Every structure is written in structure tokens, then in C-alpha cells.
Structure 1
Amino acid sequence: MPVSLPGEERPGADDRPTVQITAVTWPVAAPGAEPQPAPGTESQPAVASPPEPQPARRGRRLAVLAAAVTTVVVAGIAGAGSYAYSGDIPRGTQVLGVEVGGKSRAAAEAALQGELTRRAPELNAPIDVRIGEGNVTVAPQEIGLHIDVAATVDEAAGSEPSLLGRLFGSHEVPPVVRLDTEKLDALLQPVARKQGRAMTQPAISYRGTTVKVVHPEPGLVLDTATTAQKIQDSWLTRGPVEAPLVEQYPEMSRAEVDELAEGLARPAVAAPVTVKTDGGKITISPRAIAASLTFTLDDSRRLTGQVDAKRLRDALVDELPKVEREAKDATVTIAGGKPKVVPDRAGRRLDVSTLAGDLIAVLARTDDRTVSAGFRPVQAKTTAKDVAKLGIREKVAGFTTYFTGGIALPRNHNIAVVADTVDGVVIKPGEVFSLNGFTGERGYAQGYKDAPVILNGKLVPAVGGGISQFTTTLFNAIYYAGLEDVFHQPHSYWYSRYPSVIESTIFYPSLDFKFRNNTPNGIVLDTSYNDSSITVTVWGTKVYDKVTTEWGPKRNISNPRTVHLEDGPSCLATNGTQGFSQDAWRIFVQNGKEVKRERFSWTYDAEPRYICRPKSRS
């Protein structure tokens, strides 16, 4: 007959199995035959014995029955165990109220995903996060808030309920909830910063040579990790979320900052430091030390003092020339009417990077503030071999313009200064020479003086006046050498000391003069001057036999107007000149024949006649 395990209902109550026992019949010996051994027992020799009493026979029957019942129970338990442990997920396991026990992983994931789809409106509802007195509404999608279905099923598969729990009970496995902490932090920080306070990091700096100390103070910042965990824990129950603000302390204490200020920052600027080199001594003043000694937060967010090498070099701008030597490029000089290579010279620069590191050990001392430093060699950009290969062999072209008043006159002095600056410059094949770029600013510091310049159509005194005459001289020299004109601009008014059209003005930094060495050989610019003239000569290797100019007639001639100005140092009287338009052709001649010509055109304004007195009202 069917036998149910204890506590189990009969079939029909649920889908749990019913274990049935099959009746067992043992073989019975025929009359007169020897008894047969029971299955699983060894055969014994037959021995004649008297008949057993009746009670003993009943006991043996009971033992046989008990053994049979035991076998049936064991078989039932084995069957129940097979049922309880079937599938990837233990029976009785639920997630979010969904039965996943007894299922394969794939089936469990599908069941759980279906529940999440059903509850999507609920799960996608915004979450209110309270930060101090502020509030942020967060959409789950914005922070990647979701249930990791695969990880949740893994958790369910790894749970270990008891056998009875698997057969008769149920247990809930919480889902694995994940979110993107960085995205959450980005959403909450704008409000968190308003509700909290920024941490004050320590700082040490100088105002002049006075030490300024900023002591550290704790900040009140968002605890993003705890907030994320609260959101994960309360998401499914829709509980409120309070984002905690916690104090965040700097790595350095107030006492440690004071110790650094007293131990390094203040003694560093208490006295100068002497630097000894093979080229002599220089002094690092307290002000130069303050300009180069910096205190910054390292990777561990602690202040450390270090000397900035670049700042140190800038601070020593007046001291370094005493021991350093600039490299000098090889160039060409003209001696006896022939070009001669002047060798290059290596330079040396103070090894400021190494000095900056060694200086730190000295700055904390109150005496023996001396440190040694070495040099780094600096090679010339152009060597004598480089120049020799350039093929500078002969005079290609030259041009001279004239002035009055002697070389001591301010405008003529300026011409001499720029001529000395440009003298000997070597221009390699293909290079573009910029006059502004080569000389840089032409101001008082470079030795230039105030002299008249044309500004907004009027002659006014300005530093560097007269440079346009040198520019015109240089332009004509490269023009007749056949070199490529990249950019030039003639004057607004024509001056008779210059050839019309083929002349050039200049103004730093807005108006430049540029040309290209478009020959296969190098060229060198040779300048010379006296009390009445400036000459620029181009040396290299000739490409053309001759370069000449043909001018067209003047046209569109206009007469000057008269302008009365207030008398004073800024008023420069002029006689005025006519305005006109004109063309000029540069003609290239090779083997006695014209091979090319270029047209240059310009229109000059009529220069007003400026009178330095107000116009009479009579």
C-alpha cells in the first residue's frame, strides 16, 4: 500500500512525490525440501534440528518486516533528495517573490527578467536624495541603477538551504543591485558643495620676502559611497535617502605646516646664498630665493618645498651673464674684398636644474650658505663647416642710401644700431629673413633713440625713427641680388632720398619686411656706414648676370594740402610733397638676355604741408 513520509500530504495536495513500497515475497521451500538461504546470505550445510517453538518464528517474521520497511524509507528519502536537489537553483528559492528554485540558470534569469519588466514603472520612478537642506531628484537611469540578473541568479544558485527547507519551506534571496558611483557623485556634487564646505588645504607662499601661511581646515563633503549603498538598499522598498555629509581633514596638521614654515620658508630668505662656479661667483638674493622657492602639495597631499629651476633662472637674469657665455654661430666677414669664415664658438649655461636641487639643502641653514654649481655646454647652431658648405664666394649686389646731419643725429644713430645688429647674418638656402623677427623690439633698452616716424599720416617723434631708411637700403640690396620679395610696403609719402616704388618702410611689430633666399647657396649680409650714408652688400654666388629696373611714368598726380597744427615738441613742420601712382619692373638678365621681369606698383599720398601754428582767423 502507498506510504507517505511524515508531514507529507497524500497525492493531490501538491506536486510533491509520493513514495510507494512494493510488497516483497520470499521463496517458500517445497515439502520435504531443504530450506533456501535468504537473498544476500551465505549457504550453510544442512543440519537436522528439532522443530523451533512458535514464538521464535513470529519474531523472525517481525525482523523481516522491519528490514523491509527500512529499505522502503531509505528508498523514499533518496527519491525525495533527488527531487529536492534537481535544477541549478535550490527548490524553495525566491527572488522578489518569484519562484526560481528547481530551475536552470537560464530559466531563472528569464523568470526574474520578466518580473523586472512587469515592475519597470515602479523601478524607474525618480529617487529623492536629501543632502543637508538641499534636495536632488535622481532618475535610476542617470546613475545606472539596476538589478544585475546574472549575479542575482548566481547568488541564488549558491544558497544552501537544508533538505527539509528545500522540500517544504521557501527562502528569499535578495537581488544584487548595482549603480555607477561616479555618475551619482557627479549629480549630487553641485548641491553637496553648496550644503557642505570646501576643505582648506595648507599653503606657504611669499609676498616679497615675507612668508604667508594658510593653515589647513576640514571640509564638509558628501560621503558618496555611503549614499550609494543607501540607495541600493532602499531602492526596492522606496525608502527615503539621506545623503550624509562628513568632515574631511587635510593630510597635514596645523602644527606640521608651522614647522615647515619655521624650518624652511623663513630661514630660506633670511640671507643670500653664494654660488661658486669655475667661471666665478654669483649671489642668489633673498628676493630671488623667494621668487623660485615654491611649496606645493605632493601625491600624499602634503606640502613640500622645492626650487623651481625656470623661476630661478629668471630671478638670476642679472647675475648669470657674470659666469655664462653665449654660443656664437659661425659667420662670414669681408676681409680684403673677399668673404672669410669666422669660426663658431661654444657657449656655457649654468646648470640651474642641478643647482635647484642642491639649493634646498642649503636654504634651511642660518650659516654656511654656499653651494657649488657647474655648467652645461651650449653648441652653436651654425658651425664653420656649415658656413663653408654654403658657397658664399662673391659679391652679388649692394645698395647705398644717404642722410645728412652726421651719425650722431638720433635717426642716423638708429640706422647705425640696426646695421650693426644685422651685419654678418647668414641666410641659408630656402630660409626667410624677417627684419622684425631678427632684431626684435627696437626700443630704448636696445640702444635706439627718439626720431621722426610717420604715424597715421603725420610725422611724429618715436623711438627707433630712421629704421625705414635702413629697411629701404636692405630691400634694394636683395632686390638687385635677385632674391625673392616675400613682403614689403613702401612709405605713404615719397621721399626723394629713396627710389620711388622700390623702397620699404617698417614698424615694430605690425609692419615687417621679409625676403627669401631662393638661391641654391647661402648668402651673408654685410653692412657699413659713415657720417652720410648706409650701405648693405649681399655676398653669395650669383644666379643672374645683372638685375635692373625700368620705371613707368608717374600718373594720378595730386597736390598737397596745408594743415595748421598747434606748436610744440610733437609738431614737425613739412613742406609737403605731391602724390602719384607709378610702376617699376625688376628685370633679370642672363647671358646678355632678359629672362624674367617682375612688376611692382604703388600709389603715394600727397604729404600735407604741416605748419606748426594755428591758422590765423583774420
Structure 2
Amino acid sequence: MKKNVIIITLASVVLVSAVAAGISFNNISNKVKAYDNVIYPGVKVEDVDLSGKTKVEALAILNQKYGDALIKKKINIKAPEKTYTLNYEKLSAKYNIEKIVDEAFSYNKDKGLLQKNKLIKSPTPKQFKLTGSFTFDSKPVKELIGVMQKEIDKQPANAAINMVSRGNFSITPDKKGSKLNTENLEKDILSKISGDLNGDVEIQAPVEDVQASITGDKLSKINTKLSSFSTNFSTSTAARATNISLATSFINGKVLMPGETFSFNDVVGQRTASRGFQEAPVIIGNKVDSGLGGGICQVSTTLYNAAIRANLQTVERIHHTLPSHYIGLGMDATVDYGNIDYKFKNTLEFPVYIEAYTENRNIVFSVYSDKSLTSRTYDLVNEVYDTMQPEVKYVDDPNMDEGVTETVQPASIGYKVRVYKNTYENGKLIAHDLITNETYNKVDGTVKRGTRKKQ
């Protein structure tokens, strides 16, 4: 009997324990189940505690605190004359809040019942960061930089020099330009675009000064005449005189910086009737014919003599096929647009200014530069060391009366000539340099003579 009582008692204890355990398990299960649709305790996103929040609630909280604040943020780019602003909203900047909420919501949901219960009873703090989910569109950055570049980039303005009276100059100062360093600016902007909400982004635009290639300081070195040369065209026709005056005017005021090369054809341009040039005598081969711009070779010759006396280096130059009446042998420079040019280079350390004008049927060229160059002067001298006499061939013409002649090809004496450049320092000859050794070939003449008997 006593044994049965003990058995019944034990059974009752087991039954009570089982019931109690069942009740406890149900409590745990219900407790854990209560977190199936909410975020576990101790879970934060940034500094926002989302414990017990549903996904919808968490999204609303985070969007209000971080999403709305983010699109109000600005990038301010300060340039010399203006501050440019780019809103984060235009960048489509955002956090992937849905992804972060999903991660926060899923945190520890894969654990077992007892582990979940333990985490609910004794939460382990867990913080998720938004910065890793930050994204933006960089295209508006490039677009803004393009706008800035158009407004900021400015070409410098070169200084200019004008002769206000013979030998006296006025200088218009140069102006600096500016250039936006677009590559550095883009790198700077992109590196500072972040999800950090601590104030707007402030950036200094990298704008560089662009110096003019011709400055007032450089042009101020033009203060003294180095050389001058003139030739006379008093025997020229009106058309030839027009061509000479026109070509000379195109050269007047030309400035040549150190290292620059002057091209006669580039400066004077093509000789056309629409530009005012006229038909006038011109040497073509061994004959004097008529052509547009006839007489311009006297301009290039006069300039050549002024330039070489200023110690400017000849780059390209040839003489005429026939001697020129207005200059000594070997001292001429012929030009033919598209075929023959006259070029010289400014090898001086200072800029030069070319004054050119016609006056009383004279072409005058003067070259100006720095006064320090005037201790030396230069001149050209020639030496004819051989002459070649032409022959004259007479051709009978029965269609012309006796005693009548007609020159078909004028005869021209040939010459061999050496040209020297003399250098004087303070008036004393210090150099006598051969610069050209040239030949003007003789031209045999042809004369028709009449044989027809007069009636």
C-alpha cells in the first residue's frame, strides 16, 4: 500500500513538472513569436533604436531622420567670382534604407527558439551603418563642371603696342585669363560626396591664372630704332605705286616676339583684285611682264634690307632672275604668293616692332627694339667679281620695213656678286661676314629687223 502511494506521488510530480514545462515552453514560444514581425531588442541603425519596430515603422523612422535630411544637403563650390551649388537631391543621393531595414529585421531570425529567447531576454547590442549603402549619380557633377568651365575659362588678352608718333609708343596692358582644372575638381567633389550628414560640403574650385603670351612688360622693351631703310619708286606707274602702298600698309605695326618668324606672304596675303591689288609690271623669268601685285618685290626688298640691318636672321630669301634698278646687286628679295616667300626670324632677346610707310614715292621700313642693342650697327656691302656679257641675235623679218627693229628679248648682263654683312661696335668695324654668293645669269637678246623694201 505504501509503495503504491509513493508511485502515485512520483507520477503526480512528473505530471506537474511536465505541465509546468509545457507552460514555460508555450511562454517562450509565444514570447519569441511576438518578435516574428518586429526587430529584435538591441538593434540600432546608426543611433536609432529599432527594437520592437516593424519594417514599415523602421522605414518611416529612418527615412524621416536620414533620407529627408540627406536630400537637403548641398555641395558648395567656391570660384573667384561665384559660388556654384549642387543639391544632393539632384545627385539622386540616397541610402538603401530598405536593405538596411531588411538586415536589421533579419538579424538573429535564423537562430533556434532558446537562442532567440535568450537574445530577447538579454539583448546583444547590434548597430547597422547607413554609410555603406550610400549611392549617388555622378552625371550631374560632370554637367555642373561643364557649366563652370564655360563661365570660368577665359583666354588671356595680349598686350598691344601702337606708335602714336614717330618713335613714340603707347601700350595697352595685357589681361590674365583663367582656366578651371576640371580633372582635379571632379576628383575633389567625388571624394567628398558621402552620406555624412554633418553639414554641407565646401569645396574651393581649382582655378589657375593663364598668362598672356605678349605682356606689357615685354612690349615696353620696344623703345629705340635699330635700323631703317628706304627705296624710291618715283618712276613707277600709278598701279605699281598702289600695290606698293597697299602691301606696305599690311606690314606696318607688325610685332615679332623673340623666336617668331615673319612670313611676307602670310602677312601681306594673296594679291587679288578684290583686295585692291592692280596689274603692274613684274619680272617673270627673264622678262618683265604684267601681273596682279606688280611692284611688291620692291616692298619685300626694302624690308629685307631693314631687317638684316637690325640683325634679324634671314630664314628664306632668293634674288630676282634679273637685276633690280632700285637696289644694289645681291641685295634684293623676290616674292611670289604660293611659290616664293621672304622670311626672317627674330633671334634677338627682345620683341621688335616694324614701322612701314610710303612717303613722297619712297618706301620706308624701320625696325624698333630695346635700346641695349644699339651699341652695334649693321650694313650690307656687295662686291661684283665677274660679269658676263650677253649676245644679241638679230632675226630678219620680211614683214617689217627696212630700218625698223623690234626687241623681242632684251639683253641683260650677267653678274657674280658677293654680299657681306658688316658689323660695327660703337662705330668701329668688328666683322665683315660673307652672307651670300649669288649669280644673275646673262640673258641673250633677240631683235627683229625689217627687210621689206619701202615702196
Taking structure 1 as the reference length, what is the TM-score of the superposition? 0.37
Q: Which has the higher contact order (CA 8 A, sep 6+)?
A: 2
Which has the larger strand fraction? 2
Larger radius of gyration: 1
Taking structure 2 as the reference length, what is the TM-score of the superposition? 0.49
